[in-house]
Structure 1
């Protein structure tokens, strides 16, 4: 679990720095942000405030770690589901391309076979006419 902090409340941020020191990384490297209000970011956000669904004041370290772990597990689950859906779509696309290639190959082989069959018939007719 890699976390970055971005809190307007400096006391909360300092408290979180101490409590989460083993999990803190740069914002660009984090799995998610811990904030005290919603911010404009592409990263998932774990929000801590009085109205938060994730964690509200007051809380203890154990509650914080449990809530963060639950959030992280949810993110991983969502990422896994997205990856599986993408994999399924890619497999379907690959199967469609493979089927198209099979069909085109069969058509080309059939066309070549028909051409050789026609040429062979013509050669046999010529041979019979010359005999």
Structure 2
């Protein structure tokens, strides 16, 4: 889980950096954005504020990490992580597996059609 922190509140932003540690990254490399306001963009946004459906202030580290983990899992299940975010290796392996699968199906069909 890679998270971009984009908060207007400096105290919240710094708290998130401390809590998230190495999970915090740039907007370009993140899976989703954690913010204190709703923003538009290509990445999903996890909003933390008093009216948020996800997490309200105040919160502790454990609650934050659990809630972010649930949000990330829900994103994965619903397919919100775009295939464009796959690494080159993942894409190449996926293409190879797809080719193998189609070749295998073709061989099996050819064998049964004899």
TM-score by length of 2: 0.68
Give the gaps of 5 or more residues in structure 2. 84-114
Corresponding residue pairs, total: 82
Equivalent residue for 1:113?
A: none
In the aligned structure 2, how far is the partner of 1:7 from the partner of 1:43?
Answer: 15
Distance apart, 1:40 and its partner CA: 2.3
Deviations 1:85-111 (A, max 9, x none): xxxxxxxxxxxxxxxxxxxxxxxxxxx
Give the gaps of 5 or more residues in structure 1. 84-131
Higher relative contact order (CA 8 A, sep 6+): 2
Q: Computing the radius of gyration over CA atoms, which structure comes out larger, 1 or 2? A: 1
Distance apart, 1:73 and its partner CA: 0.2
Equivalent residue for 1:25?
A: 25
- Pairing 1:78–2:78 present: yes
Equivalent residue for 1:68?
A: 68
Deviations 1:42-64 (A, max 9, x none): 11000000000000011100000
Equivalent residue for 2:34?
A: 34
Distance apart, 1:21 and its partner CA: 1.3
Equivalent residue for 2:51?
A: 51
In the aligned structure 2, how far is the partner of 1:60 from the partner of 1:22?
Answer: 18
Equivalent residue for 2:10?
A: 10
Moved over 4 A (4+): none
RMSD: 1.7
In the aligned structure 2, how far is the partner of 1:40 from the partner of 1:70?
Answer: 21
